[in-house]
Amino acid sequence: MVVGVLTTLVAWLINRNDLLWAPRFSSTEALLWCVALVGFASIARAAQYCSKWARTAIVTAAIAITGLSTVAQVALVPYVYWAYLPRAASIYSPQERQQADAVFGRYRREAKPEEPVVASTWLFRYAHDRNLFWLDRMSGRPAPVWILGDSADSYVPLRISSDTINPESGIHIEDYTLIDRRGRFVLLRKRE
């Protein structure tokens, strides 16, 4: 109950009607989950000394809460169900993954970790993380040397093709040379 009141209060204060808060709250939210799990384990341990009816009620409540939590996560966050699958999942088909591996393999071979890079949403895994910038937060940042693009990205502000890019980023696509393109994926490098 304490966790529920706290999360409801914080969601109300930041005017968000869900638990999809800013990333800076991730560690706090993880701590709250751990506290809730330890609290539930303590209740389950104490239930051993209760009557059979009380134990049945606690197990039923646990199953109901787990089910409702899972349904809420799946409803609020697209692709969250992948976390519960026993295998890796991707929005890309096997053929598209091969194309991406081929295009961005060249980036991994030629790019230096200190060179700034921007990437479409699902392509962050290919980028060197030392100087990976968000395309929609480029103000005051150096122009990236490399651009890893997905022309069919579901998140429009990070959609990048060989001839279009989010104009709010301040990046001029004509300043870049197309290095490789396969299917929906493009690799661009800044002209020297």
Work out the mean pLDDT of the chain and round it to a whole number.
Answer: 80
With the C-alpha atoms ordered 20, 24, 30, 36, is the resulting torsion angle positive or negative?
negative
The pTM (predicted TM-score) of the whole model is 0.58
**51: Cβ contacts below 8 Å, ≥ 6 apart:** none
Q: What gap in Å lies between CA 32 and CA 6, rounded to an integer?
A: 9
- The residue-averaged pLDDT of 88-113 equals 87
Cβ proximity of 133 and 117 under 8 Å: yes
Q: Check whether residue 158 and residue 108 sit in a common domain.
A: yes
Q: Check whether residue 101 and residue 167 sit in a common domain.
A: yes
Identify any residues that bridge with 178 across adjacent strands, giving them in sequence order.
188
Which one has a higher pLDDT value, 96 or 33?
Answer: 96
Query: Strand, helix or coil at 192?
Result: coil
Q: Check whether residue 42 and residue 71 sit in a common domain.
A: yes
Interval 16-35: pLDDT, tens: 655 555 556 667 767 777 78
Q: Check whether residue 99 and residue 178 sit in a common domain.
A: yes
Q: Output the pLDDT for position 179.
A: 93
Q: Check whether residue 6 and residue 52 sit in a common domain.
A: yes
Q: Output the pLDDT for position 19.
A: 57
Burial class (CB in 10 A: 0-12, 13-18, 19+), 118: buried
Task: Please name the residue that has the structure tokens 């990333």.
Answer: 23
Which one has a higher pLDDT value, 73 or 62?
Answer: 62
Number of folded domains that form the chain = 2
Reported as a pLDDT band with limits 50, 70 and 90, residue 104 is: very high
Interval 107-128: pLDDT, tens: 999 999 899 999 988 888 888 8
Token pair for 88: 């890796």
Q: Domain range spanning residue 33?
A: 2-84
Cβ proximity of 59 and 67 under 8 Å: no
Q: Output the pLDDT for position 8.
A: 64
Query: Strand, helix or coil at 75?
Result: helix
- The residue-averaged pLDDT of 78-99 equals 74
Interval 46-57: pLDDT, tens: 778 888 888 888
Reported as a pLDDT band with limits 50, 70 and 90, residue 137 is: confident
Q: Check whether residue 107 and residue 64 sit in a common domain.
A: no
What phi and psi, each to the nearest 5 degrees, are found at residue 182? Answer: -140, 120
Give the sheet arrangement for strand 185-190, strand by strand: 132-133, 117-119, 146-150, 185-190, 176-182
Last residue of a domain, one of 41, 57, 84: 84
Q: Output the pLDDT for position 20.
A: 58
Q: What gap in Å lies between CA 31 and CA 50, rounded to an integer?
A: 29
* Listed residue (95, 90, 108, 104) closest to 181, CA to CA: 104
Q: What angle do CA 134, 138, 142 make, to 5 degrees?
A: 110
Q: Output the pLDDT for position 6.
A: 66
Token pair for 36: 């809730």
Interval 144-173: pLDDT, tens: 999 999 998 887 888 888 888 888 888 888
Residue 89 counted as domain residue? no
Query: Strand, helix or coil at 147?
Result: strand
- What percent of the chain stands above pLDDT 70? 78
